Structure formats: structure tokens, C-alpha cells
A = this chain, B = another copy of it.
Amino acid sequence: MVYSAGLAGSITMARGFTPLYQRVIDTIEGDIRTGRLKPGDQLPSTDQLRQSMGISPGTIRKGIDMLIDRGVLRGHQGLGVFVAEKS
């Protein structure tokens, strides 16, 4: 699983107008939509996502938090974050 964010290393954030946390959301939801992530699947750890996307842990977390709040993901402390079984 790749999770490349592109533009990694751009400190000045010369991004378009898509916030980084939105890119986290888009990436995960895209992988769910295409079937690369299926219900019950475990996501890469926050630290792995941080490394592969080049985004700080807090920003990774913000995207995941929103998807958990929306019911798309489920977080289990000590275990990991998983794709929700039902939408």
C-alpha cells in the first residue's frame, strides 16, 4: 500500500487548495471505493501513514478522526484502525 502524498517536503505548503488532512481523507476513502481497502481491513498505523505521506501525526490523526466520526472507520485502542463493516 502506497499512500504517497506527493509534494512531501514542501515546507512552505505551496499546495493547491486542498488541505493535507483532506488529502488523508481522500486517500483512504478512495482506497475504500476502489476496493483496495475492504470492510474489516486494518489501516496502516498512524506512524506508517505519517512516514509514507510525509504528513505530521496530528494532521494524519485529524483526517482519521473525521472518518471515525462519520462512521467510515473504527478505531480500537491498542489494536489499530479498521474500515467499518457497515456504512
A residues near B (Cβ < 8 Å) are 62, 65-66, 69-70
Contact = CB atoms under 8 A, between A and B. Distances in A.
Contacts of A69: 66, 69-70
Tell me the dominant secondary structure on chain A's binding face: helix
6 contacts: A62-B65, A65-B66, A66-B66, A66-B69, A69-B69, A69-B70
The 6 closest A-B pairs by CB, nearest first: A66-B69, A69-B69, A69-B70, A62-B65, A66-B66, A65-B66
A69 to B, nearest CB: 6
Nearest to A66: B69
Nearest to A62: B65
